[in-house]
Amino acid sequence: MVIAVPLGTVVWQKLPDGGDNFLADLEQADQRVVIAKGGRGGLGNIHFASSVNQAPRTATSGQAGEESHVILELRLIADAGIVAYPNAGKSTLLARATAARPKIADYPFTTLEPVLGVVEPDRHRFILAEIPGLVDGAHLGRGLGHDFLRHITRTRVIIHLVNGTSPSPVDDMIKVNNELALFDSELAKKPQLVAVNKIDLPEVRARIDEIKKEFDRAGVKVWFVSAATGEGVAELMNATRRLIDEVSPGEIRVRPLKVFRPQPIDTTVHWRKEDHTFIVTSPEPGRRLPQDVSRPAAWPQLKKELSRLGIIQALTEAGIKPGDTVRWGNREWEWQS
């Protein structure tokens, strides 16, 4: 069975101890990964036909396929992602820079899912994603935490939007960056453009020099924009596009691509004796064993399969005698000479 998934789907295998094992990052069209290998089919009676037995009443059961509990996690593929505290103006900036129409309101968490838009500065397009607002403790799942932090892992660059009305825009930037680093240390290494929003408000415009000096002391170049009026947005998008061009696509992989390849089935046969019953165990449940081993006509086929697997020799050396019982899985029969 083939399951189609969107580009950007990351596949994890759930381990018995509760952990996760990374299987694949499906980031290319028509890319495939095997997560569970199907069982081998049984053999019909035509397989056992011969010149002297043209209509054999013999068939074998198939083997069960592998079971694998997997998690399919979508991580959006975008060139740049906007991160910020709630109500910093991310939705307004996305709507101003692209044709996307995210929900815009004056309360926190108006954006409940990532929104994508296409920016075309200088006739060079890139995909811009708005990531829902981050709060202190987002790396622990607070707010919308883990639901959306993972989407930032694919972006080449980050536009860090800061609310100009905040008492300390620099502190806001540091706190959000700490959340990114605590969620995934690689996020802290991504190139960033820091932009102070809402300079259309008189109280913010009056503080531009003060805010710029604070960021200068922190060693951060800052852009000043008004997502509401569009002031400075084009310049910010052009700078974003130039920064994206500097980042190699190979640097944004979630993890090196791995393909899960099921290990070959162990065909080692083991046995133990309980009273007069010889119990045979094997990871391979005897694909060629007859379905009904109690029929006398099944013994020749059964003997041939047991000989192929080395069971007849092993049980003979163990002292099995005619009349003893042999059990293999849900099949049980009387040993014959």
Q: Looking at residue 291, what is its pLDDT?
A: 63
Say if residue 249's pLDDT is above 80: no
Q: Looking at residue 145, what is its pLDDT?
A: 43
From edge to edge, which strands make up the β-sheet containing 325-328?
Answer: 270-274, 277-281, 325-328, 331-334
Distances (CA, A) of 192 to 48, 95, 233, 239: 69, 20, 16, 11
Rounded CA gap, 44 and 325, in Å?
27
Q: Looking at residue 226, what is its pLDDT?
A: 93
Tens of pLDDT, residues 212-239:
999 999 899 999 999 999 999 999 999 9
Say if residue 106's pLDDT is above 60: no
Cα-only R_g, the chain:
32
Q: Does the global pTM surpass 0.85? A: no
Rounded CA gap, 160 and 197, in Å?
10
- Please give the DSSP secondary-structure letter assigned to residue 39: P
Q: Looking at residue 199, what is its pLDDT?
A: 94
Read off the pLDDT band of 20 (50, 70, 90): confident
Say if residue 93's pLDDT is above 80: yes
Say if residue 186's pLDDT is above 50: yes
Q: Looking at residue 150, what is its pLDDT?
A: 67
Task: Please report, to the nearest 10 degrees, the dihedral formed by the alpha carbons of residues 46, 52, 56, 58 taken in order.
Answer: -90
Residue 233 tokens read as 């947005």
Q: Is 182 in a helix, a strand, or coil?
A: helix
Of 97 and 299, the one with more pLDDT: 97
Q: Looking at residue 305, what is its pLDDT?
A: 75
Say if residues 158 and 123 touch (Cβ distance below 8 Å).
Answer: no
Single-letter residue type at 223: W
Beta-bridge mates of residue 270: 281
Say if residue 207's pLDDT is above 60: yes
Q: Looking at residue 297, what is its pLDDT?
A: 67
Closest CA to 228 of 205, 251, 245, 257: 205
Spell out the domains of the chain, with CATH numbers in brackets. Answer: 1-75+254-263 (no CATH), 76-252 (3.40.50.300), 270-334 (3.30.300)
User: Average pLDDT over the chain, rounded to whole?
Assistant: 77
Q: Is 161 in a helix, a strand, or coil?
A: strand
Q: What is the pLDDT averaged over residues 158-168?
A: 91
Rounded CA gap, 114 and 117, in Å?
10
Tens of pLDDT, residues 129-148:
887 655 555 444 444 444 55
Tens of pLDDT, residues 122-132:
667 888 888 76
From edge to edge, which strands make up the β-sheet containing 192-197?
Answer: 115-119, 126-130, 80-83, 157-163, 192-197, 222-224
Task: Please report, to the nearest 10 degrees, the dihedral formed by the alpha carbons of residues 313, 317, 321, 326 taken in order.
Answer: -60
Tens of pLDDT, residues 267-316:
567 778 887 788 887 655 555 566 666 676 677 777 777 777 778 888 88
Tens of pLDDT, residues 253-267:
444 444 445 555 555
